[in-house]
Amino acid sequence: MSQPKAKKVSAKKTEQKKDYKKGISAMIVIVVCAIVAHLFFYLFCGADARFDDKGHPIDGNIFGTLYQGGFVIPIVITLLLTVLALGVERFFALNKASGRGSITKFVAESKAKLKAGDIDGAEQLCNKQKGSVANILRAGLVRYRDVEQMAGLSNDEKATIIEKEIEDATALELPYLEQNLNVIATISSLGTLFGLLGTVLGMIRSFGAMANEGAPDSIALSLGISEALMNTAMGIATGALAIIVYNFFAAKVQDITNAVGEVGFAVGQTYATKHEKQA
């Protein structure tokens, strides 16, 4: 009798893995953003029409000034576009993971159903909500029904099986929730560091222009200062945006994780209370 049950559980696990959600790969986003950034920098910002005969941007043209920032600028633009693209991807992914309606309301209603011993009602709420928390709770409820029919196990062992099912379901959902956040966190540092690199290179060019015998090379001096300032501005902006985006979505993931903890505890409490009375 135990062998068919084992096969049934294995089949359920396989089905869960097949249904595992995957977001957009960060590597694909970075490659696309790099292509766009370099085309924008060299073809659009570096167009001849943006500069005069001396190589200065016409009338302080902002894109021509950006082009004077040097080869580090397209790298920083790549990082900036990556943050924006992954931010949009995480926005839709986490909205989908949050399900329909408020997570807080769903957790409160689910706990009320569980406290009343209404397992069917809690499962119906999961079917309506259709978020990550609902998926995890539904997995726990399915295992709840299974363990009630298992013979030869103590209540503590059955409660452990339910908790393990909730942990497994959480382990399947969590990577999807946290996907690409580590990339955004890395860019928060890389953006500032590449901006600093461009600043140093620009200052080297500026001091090189001032080191000439006689009058300093004014064109080289202005180019070096422009390169330093543009890289500083772009690097700070990219790093700051990445920090804001990361913290925003990390807070949303934490809210979902906290909700999972609440409903998981509620399922365990419901089982323990119900079977203590029966005992």
Integer-rounded Cα radius of gyration of the chain: 28
- For 16-52, the pLDDT digits (tens) are 444 446 678 899 999 999 999 999 999 998 888 888 7
Residue 266 scores a pLDDT above 50? yes
Residue 9: its pLDDT value, please? 43
The predicted structure's pLDDT at residue 57 = 76
Q: Which residue intervals of 116-217 are DSSP H helices? A: 119-129, 132-148, 155-178, 181-210
For the record, the structure tokens of 183 come out as: 């990339």
Contact residues for 169 (Cβ-Cβ < 8 A; gap 6+): 16, 135, 136, 139, 140
CA 76 – CA 198 distance, rounded (Å)? 9
Mean pLDDT of 187-208: 86
Q: Which of these, 255, 242, 110, lies nearest to 177 by C-alpha position?
A: 255
For residues 234, 236, 237, 240, the Cα torsion angle rounded to the nearest 10 degrees is: 160
Residue 187 confidence class, pLDDT cut points 50, 70, 90: very high
Quick: pLDDT tens for 77-122. Answer: 999 999 999 999 999 999 998 888 888 899 899 888 888 888 889 8
Residue 14, pLDDT > 70, answer: no
